Amino acid sequence: MHVQIYTMQSADEAEAVTNLGVDHIGITPSDIGLPGEIDIETAQAIMARVKSKATVVALTVDSNLDAIIAMTEAVKPDILHLCGLEGDLSPNGVKELRSRLPGRPIMQAISVAGAEAVDTALAYADVCEYLILDTQAPDIAGIGASGKTHDWNVSRAIVESVDIPVILAGGLSPENVAEAINKVRPWGVDSLTHTNEILSDGGFRKDIERVSAFVTAAKATA
């Protein structure tokens, strides 16, 4: 079972999480107010620190191909994670992006709000290397970071319908990740909100103990 943890805000934090056995390290290079976003320089420092130890996944909610490419070429993540709002970047848009970023694997976020998500996942499965199934929050400019679960029956249907790796996200925690894996049987699992420690200024940092518990539970279940 592959474990992906979002979102790293420093090279030290990324290294500490990587040392727990996390497979994918998620970062958010942005300047629009996304949760845990970092500047390009910090993203580059994280890449330099953990690249040989973990796969680095960089998230974008942008739909402008030139902007996405500029970020990707600056950070050089192992995987580009597209999680703009549903409909912002069509499968044809992702196909064009792939042609302009040859050799860069793409992870497409799918908002699992109902059974129609299966058709959406199938439409993207031919133009990306990974799918990540997440829960959309009404106040965030992208798919994910809601801290809420969705209908795992729909997620299971997606896993059974596509031929590429599927990562399950959306409200996963050390307490429910085993149940989620047993229900959905994904290739990997992802956590952001429920492996955070909330700070007094409203921000967060990764809770190392909870990340460790999440990794242990996920790997033991798999």
**pLDDT 10s digits, 41-58:** 999 999 999 988 999 999
Structural domain boundaries, residue 58: 2-221
Alpha carbon 32 to its chain's center: 18
Low-confidence ranges of the chain (pLDDT < 70): none
DSSP annotation string for 166-193: EEE-SS--TTTHHHHHHHH--SEEEESG
User: Which helix (H) or strand (E) covers residue 148, if one does?
Assistant: none
CATH code for the domain of 180: 3.20.20.70
Distance separating alpha carbons of residues 156 and 27, to the nearest angstrom: 26
Cα 201 versus chain centre, distance:
25
Number of compact structural domains in the chain:
1
Contact by Cβ (8 Å): 29, 75: yes
Quote the pLDDT of residue 145.
Answer: 80
